[in-house]
Amino acid sequence: MSIADLLWRVPSVQMAWRNLGRNRVRTALATLGIVIGVVAIASLGIAGVALQQQATADLGDLSNEVTVTPGEDAAEEGITDEQVATIRTIASGSTVVPEKTNVTAIESRNGREVQVRVTGVTRASALYGLASGDAPDRLRSGALLSNTTATNLGLERGDPIEYDSRLYRIEGLITSTEGFGSATGGRLVVPVSAMNDQQYYDSVTIFTDGREATALTDDLEARFNEGGDEQVDVRNFADVQQRVGSFFRTLNLALLGIGSISLVVASVAILNVMLMSTIERRGEIGVLRAVGIRRGEVLRMILTEALFLGILGGILGAAVSLGVGLVLFHLLTDDPLLVFQWRSAQYVVYGFGFAVLASGLSGLYPAWKAATNRPVDALRG
Partner 1 sequence: MTVIELDDVVKRYRTGAEEITALDGVDFRADRGELVTIIGPSGSGKSTLLNMIGLLDTPTAGGVRLDGREVTDFSEAELTAERRSGIGFVFQKFHLLPMLTATENVELPSMWDTGVDRRDRAVDLLERVGLGDRLDHRPSELSGGQSQRVAIARSLINEPEILLADEPTGNLDQDTGATILDELTRLKEAEEIAIVAVTHDEQLVDYADRVVRLVDGVIQ
Contact 171, 135 (CB under 8 A): yes
Q: Does 25 bind partner 1 (CB under 8 A)?
A: no
The DSSP secondary-structure symbol of 201 reads B
8 Å CB contact between 318 and 368: no
Q: Scan residues 340-359 and list those touching partner 1 (CB under 8 A).
A: none
For position 315 contacting partner 1 by CB under 8 A, the verdict is no
> Is residue 29 at the binding interface for partner 1, with CB under 8 A as the rule?
no
What one-letter code names the amino acid at 163?
Answer: Y
233 vs 225: CA distance, rounded Å? 9
Contact status, residue 12 vs residue 301, Cβ threshold 8 Å: yes
Task: Assess 279 for contact with partner 1 (CB under 8 A).
Answer: no
Supply the minimum distance, in Å, between the C-beta of residue 367 and partner 1. 15
The residue among 105 and 291 lying less far from partner 1, judged by its C-beta, is: 291
- Comparing C-alpha atoms, which of 263, 278, 261 is closest to residue 365? 278
Site string for partner 1, 233-272 (x = CB under 8 A): ----------------------------------------
Q: Give the number of residues in contact with partner 1, rule: CB under 8 A.
A: 23
Residue 280 touching partner 1 (CB under 8 A): no
Angle between helices 342-372 and 295-333 (to 10 degrees): 160
| Collapsed DSSP state (helix, strand, coil) of residue 199 | coil
Candidates 71, 179, 185, 375; binder of partner 1 (CB under 8 A) is 375
Q: Are 365 and 275 in contact (CB under 8 A)?
A: yes
Choosing from 6, 7, 8, 18, the residue that interacts with partner 1 (CB under 8 A) is 18
Contact pick of 21, 158, 227, 228 for partner 1 (by CB under 8 A): 21
Which of 107, 284, 334, 335 is close enough to bind partner 1 by CB under 8 A? 284
Kindly provide the b/e burial profile for residues 245-277, where b requires at least 16 CB atoms within 10 angstroms of the residue's own CB: eeebeeebeebbeebbebbeebbebbbebbbeb
- Indicate whether 379 belongs to the interface with partner 1 (CB under 8 A): yes
Q: Is 293 in the site for partner 1 (CB under 8 A)?
A: yes
The stretch near partner 1 (CB under 8 A) out of 91-99, 158-166, 174-182, 281-289 is 281-289
In the list 160, 245, 283, 323, the residue contacting partner 1 (rule: CB under 8 A) is 283
List CB contacts of 13: < 8 A, sequence separation 6 or more. Answer: 7, 304
Residues found near partner 1 in the complex (CB under 8 A): 11, 15, 18-19, 21-22, 283-284, 287-295, 297, 374-376, 379-380
